[in-house]
């Protein structure tokens, strides 16, 4: 594979090739849009590929559940995977990160997602997805440190070698816009850096690697260990994708994100308004 990101042309030339699987990782209103890239199989982050035993959205499933679902979708150990979503570069990055966290590296995000595919005039199909012809043999091998909890993030906020990024809108970061999930406090973690996920994209595509390096370097200085948060652990992965493209390798996603940290019951520190000088990197 050319890297963690592929274009519509790259995928179109290889679509239907043996050992290449395409997964539709759309969420919300885009999940049942009725059209998909031909042969795409559902990667259901809202359903089977979330841990519903915890009261948080899109929680990372355990390795046994992940293994079973991907085997049922026909994934074999030597396959190559492309993930996309109906919004563009949104929830597909979450699927990419989940594969990586579960030990599967031959995976890339389709840059621009379904909107980019449609804009290129490429074929679509509708109706129910075609089930896998046979079960796969994939077995998850979780990697420590790629998906982290609140305690690790709390430590990172005080670690001079780490930076914690927040992918939510700047208004939510500042606490001037309400949270879409009821009961959450407004604001941000003390010491976190605001980088809305849309700012590392341009016209529906990820910005070039050189530009991404400039964006992250300006916010991190010489910090190399980067943590990413958002509302529910989805768009945090868009920032992780951008950092990967920029050349960073020590990356982690906060799975609970603001859906956990922002709970009043968590009693985690929250600040509103612009970051203080001492909070800046």
Q: What is the pLDDT of residues 43-82, one digit of tens each?
A: 999 999 999 999 999 999 999 999 999 999 999 999 999 9
Share of the chain above pLDDT 90, in %: 91
- Residue 13 resides in a domain: yes
Residue 281: per-residue pLDDT: 34
Residue 253: per-residue pLDDT: 98
CATH number of the CATH domain containing 250:
3.40.250.10
Average pLDDT, the chain: 95
Residue 29: per-residue pLDDT: 73
Tell me how long the chain is: 281
Q: Is the pLDDT of residue 149 over 50?
A: yes
- Residue 141 resides in a domain: no
- Give me the number of domains the chain comprises: 2
pLDDT tens for residues 83-98? Answer: 999 999 999 999 999 9
pTM (two decimals): 0.95
Residue 276: per-residue pLDDT: 53
Considering 63, 92, 126, which residue would you say is the last residue of a domain? 126
129 vs 64, higher pLDDT: 64
Per-residue b or e along 134-149, where b marks 16 or more CB atoms closer than 10 Å to that residue's CB: eebebebeeeeebbbe
Q: Is the pLDDT of residue 1 over 90?
A: no
**Domain interval for residue 245:** 147-279
Query: Pick the catalytic residue: 230, 239, 253, 263?
Result: 230
The alpha carbon of residue 236 and the mean position of all alpha carbons in its chain are separated, in whole angstroms, by: 6
- What mean pLDDT do residues 233-237 have? 98
Tell me the CA distances in angstroms from 155 to 160, 161, 189, 194, one per residue in order.
10, 11, 12, 18
Q: Are residues 153 and 234 located together in one domain of the fold? A: yes
- Residue 135 resides in a domain: no
The question of whether 230 is a catalytic residue gets the answer: yes
Return the half-sphere exposure (C-beta side, CA atoms, 13 A cut-off) of residue 205: 13
Residue 277: per-residue pLDDT: 40
pLDDT tens for residues 177-206? Answer: 999 999 999 999 999 999 999 999 999 999
Residue 34: per-residue pLDDT: 75
- What mean pLDDT do residues 168-174 have? 97
Q: Is the pLDDT of residue 279 over 70?
A: no
CA nearest neighbour of 82 among 158, 12, 182? 12
- What mean pLDDT do residues 229-248 have? 98
Considering 92, 126, 160, which residue would you say is the last residue of a domain? 126
Q: Are residues 98 and 163 located together in one domain of the fold? A: no
């Amino acid at each position: 594979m050319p890297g963690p990101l592929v274009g519509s042309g790259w995928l179109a030339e290889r679509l239907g090739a043996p050992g290449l699987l395409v997964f539709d990782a759309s969420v919300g209103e885009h999940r049942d849009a009725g059209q998909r890239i031909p042969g795409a199989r559902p990667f259901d982050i809202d359903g089977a590929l979330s841990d519903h035993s915890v009261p948080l959205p899109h929680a990372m499933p355990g390795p046994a559940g992940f293994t079973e679902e991907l085997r049922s979708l026909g994934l074999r150990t030597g396959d190559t995977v492309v993930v996309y979503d109906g919004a563009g570069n949104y929830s597909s990055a979450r699927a990419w990160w989940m594969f990586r966290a579960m030990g599967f590296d031959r995976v890339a995000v389709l840059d621009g997602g379904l909107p980019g595919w449609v804009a290129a005039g490429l074929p679509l199909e509708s109706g129910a997805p075609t089930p896998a012809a046979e079960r796969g043999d994939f077995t998850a091998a979780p990697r420590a440190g790629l998906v982290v909890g609140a305690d690790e993030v709390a430590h990172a906020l005080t670690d001079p070698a780490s930076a914690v990024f927040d992918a939510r809108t700047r208004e939510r970061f500042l606490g001037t816009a309400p949270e879409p999930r009821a009961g959450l406090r407004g604001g941000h973690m003390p010491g976190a850096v605001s980088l809305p996920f849309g700012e590392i994209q341009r016209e529906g595509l990820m910005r070039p690697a050189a530009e991404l390096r400039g964006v992250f370097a300006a916010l991190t200085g010489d910090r190399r260990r980067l943590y990413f948060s958002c509302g529910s652990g989805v768009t945090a992965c868009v920032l992780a994708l951008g950092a990967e493209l920029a050349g960073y390798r020590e990356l982690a996603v906060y799975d609970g994100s603001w859906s956990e940290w922002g709970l009043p019951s968590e009693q985690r520190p929250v600040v509103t308004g612009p970051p203080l000088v001492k909070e800046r990197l």
